[in-house]
Structure 1
Amino acid sequence: MAYTQEPVTISIRAKAGQRDLIDQAAERLGRSRSDFMLEAACRQAEDVLLDQTYFALDAKSFDAFQAMLDKPPAPTDRLRRTLGARAPWESSTAKPSATGKATGQRVK
């Protein structure tokens, strides 16, 4: 899916209490309502899409797969580079936090 760099409008309806809750949280983070809502929606969208990966294995293949998960290979430079790479939806200034979520801090 290609992402355009030009802003587009997204309109939603909310109850006053929902808007107030969002505004309170956004204010605590020093963010605008739009920025806060867009970041939260994109984070949820990423989680949904990443959780939808499915593959089927027979019992023997599953046991082999499980054994590989239980004994990961030793880290290599290539693995470190791969784990340090940004996902396509991450901004150039975002870096993963301890929870794996982008923090918005510039990577040095």
Structure 2
Amino acid sequence: MAIKAERKEHPISMRLPEADIAMIDRAAGLRGRSRTDFVREAAVRAAELVLMENMPIRMSPEGFADFMAALAAPAALVPEMVELIRRPAPWEAGYVAKR
């Protein structure tokens, strides 16, 4: 009896407009990747994000109480953030870039 090897890869076929293919090919070329590698990586990354968004976060009752206490506590100032917010934006008059 012949033993059938299980496939490790499965083909996916898509029909895309020519403009989409051109954009994918251009981006893949800029990354030095093939179209297949580029599309596979992008699809897997998108799938991981969706799965992580829908994954429940589990913690002990004590851990949850600590988490809720941290959320309810007054915010602490972060000096670097205060300085950044007070700094004028590049498009505002008088802006001088620090070097």
TM-score category of the 2 structures, normalised to the smaller one: 0.5 to 0.7
State the SS of the aligned residue for 1:53. Answer: coil
Identity %: 40
| Long gaps (5+) in structure 1 | 56-60, 71-108
2:16 aligns to what?
Answer: 14
1:105 aligns with none
| CA displacement 1:8-65 (0-9 Å, x = unmatched) | 111011000000000000000000000000000000000000000246xxxxx96643
Q: How does 1:34-73 map to 2 (within 5 A)?
A: 34-54=36-56, 64-67=66-69
Alignment size in residue pairs:
63
Which residue number corresponds to residue 103 of structure 1? Answer: none
**3-state SS of 1:49 partner:** helix
Letter in 1 for 2:68: Q
TM-score, length-scaled by structure 1:
0.49
TM, length-normalised to structure 2: 0.53
Larger Rg: 2
Describe the SS at the equivalent of 1:45: helix
Higher helix share: 2
Give the whole-Å Cα distance in 2 for the aligned partners of 1:24 and 1:66. 47
Moved over 2 A (4+): 61-70
**Separation in structure 1 between the aligned mates of residue 71 and residue 48 of structure 2, nearest angstrom:** 23
Root-mean-square deviation (CA, aligned residues, Å) is 3.1
